[in-house]
Structure formats: structure tokens, C-alpha cells
Amino acid sequence: MSIRLFAGTSYASIRSMTTPVEISAYPPDGMEVRLIERFTTLKGRRILEIGCGDGRLTFQYAPTAREILAIDPDRLSIEDALDEQAALSVRNVTFRVGSIEHLSTRGAPFDVAIFSWSL
């Protein structure tokens, strides 16, 4: 399972039932991407995201990446990600249930690997 504080990113944010304030236990959108890009560019890159959860971070950088493989062992989180992907019509992301330990060593190499709150 991908984790925030080493726990899954599913249900990372919800809209409060009593107020119109959206509560999120994660950094504000865009912050992590800006920080990552201090070290490496994501634009046009082939990216492997490990511990993607429901795609909270994935969808933030997907518009600039060339291709993304995003994996998480938690099936429900991946189902949430796929629902969101369909809603957003994002075409360059492949979400997959699984862990890095079981990912095939074959295939085209990635430019960037992101351990998203999952190491």
C-alpha cells in the first residue's frame, strides 16, 4: 500500500460535510512538483511513480510528462485513480496494481522514478 506517513493516498482529501472547505492532509497542489523540478525536469520524461495511491500527485505532473507508469499495491486506490483518469481524459498515464519489487525488469527504461510517500 502506498502510504502518507507511509500510508495510502486514497481519500487524501475530502470535502467537509459541514463546511465548504476542502480538507487535505497533503501538500497543496503543485508544491511537490515544483520541488521535484528543482532536481530534475519532468517535462517530456518517461516517469515511474511508485506508491501513486489514487493518483493525487500523478495528475499534477501528467500534463507535462511524456508517459507515466504509476503503481500501487492497493487495488481500491488504483480504482479511484482510474475513475479520475477517465473523468480528466488523461491519456499518458498507465495505472497498475502492483509493487516495485514485482515490476518486471524488462521494458523501456524510465527517465525518472518517484517514490511518492512510499519509501
Partner 1 sequence: MVHALRRAGQRLRSGGSLISIRPHETQLPLVSIITPSRRIPVTRLPTPGFDDRQSAADAALERVVAEGRFAITGIGNHRYRSVLDNPAQLRTYLELINPPRPRFPPSRRARLLELWRSRHPASKIEIAEWIVMTALRRL
Give dist(CA 86, CA 40) in Å, integer. Answer: 28
- Is 55 among the residues that bind partner 1 (CB under 8 A)? no
Burial class (CB in 10 A: 0-12, 13-18, 19+), 21: exposed
- Is 58 among the residues that bind partner 1 (CB under 8 A)? no
Nearer to partner 1, 43 or 89 (CB): 43
Q: Which amino acid is at 65?
A: A
- Is 117 among the residues that bind partner 1 (CB under 8 A)? yes
Mask 16-35, x = binds partner 1 (CB under 8 A)?
Answer: x-xx-x-xxx-xx--xx--x
Dihedral pair phi/psi, residue 32, rounded to 5°: -65, -40
- Is 91 among the residues that bind partner 1 (CB under 8 A)? no
Cβ–Cβ < 8 Å for 61, 35: no
Cell triple for 97? 496494481
Can you give the binding site for partner 1, defined by CB under 8 A?
A: 1, 3-8, 10-14, 16, 18-19, 21, 23-25, 27-28, 31-32, 35-36, 38-40, 48, 50, 99-101, 103, 105, 107, 109-117, 119
